[in-house]
Amino acid sequence: MSTSDECPFLDVEPMPGEDPLYPDKYVAAAAKWDIVRGFSAIRFGPWEPVNRAQIVTMVIRALHNWSGITLEKPTSDSDYYKEGIFAGFDDPFHGMNMQIAEYNGLLNSIWLDHDGRWDPWLPASRAEVAQILDNCLQFLD
């Protein structure tokens, strides 16, 4: 990331404060690496809440696009599709990323919701994000 990175989204502007890079340069860098995408080519929604599926997708993209780490996809003959919580989650934007994350252990130790599931559309808690990031460290060693 550098001060010369230009943010492609019109709704992301620099904020006054101690960090001259916030948030526009951080968003620009993450967009450059295809870690984040906007709601459109010009709208990012910087103050919109982030749900669990979006967090997982950003983490999978960051591992692959920035770190060069490609995680295994569950194979059709694996037990994953019989037992995985997200085996049937077929959202076109986040489904495969949720399955890849679960299959590779990025969701290990995540507390399940009261019904034994982890609703991908609920807002992600800071603790959940910390757990997912901690689980990523095994791939960065």
Q: What is the pLDDT of residue 114?
A: 85
If pLDDT is split at 50, 70 and 90, which confidence band does 76 have?
Answer: confident
At residue 123, the 3 state secondary structure works out as: strand
Q: At residue 141, does pLDDT exceed 90? A: no
Burial class (CB in 10 A: 0-12, 13-18, 19+), 32: middle
* pLDDT per position as a tens digit, 9-52: 999 999 988 899 999 999 999 999 999 999 999 999 999 999 99
30 closest CA partner among 47, 44, 20, 50: 44
If pLDDT is split at 50, 70 and 90, which confidence band does 115 have?
Answer: confident
Query: Which residue has tokens 């870690």?
Result: 35
123 closest CA partner among 17, 50, 22, 70: 50
Token pair belonging to 55: 């967090």
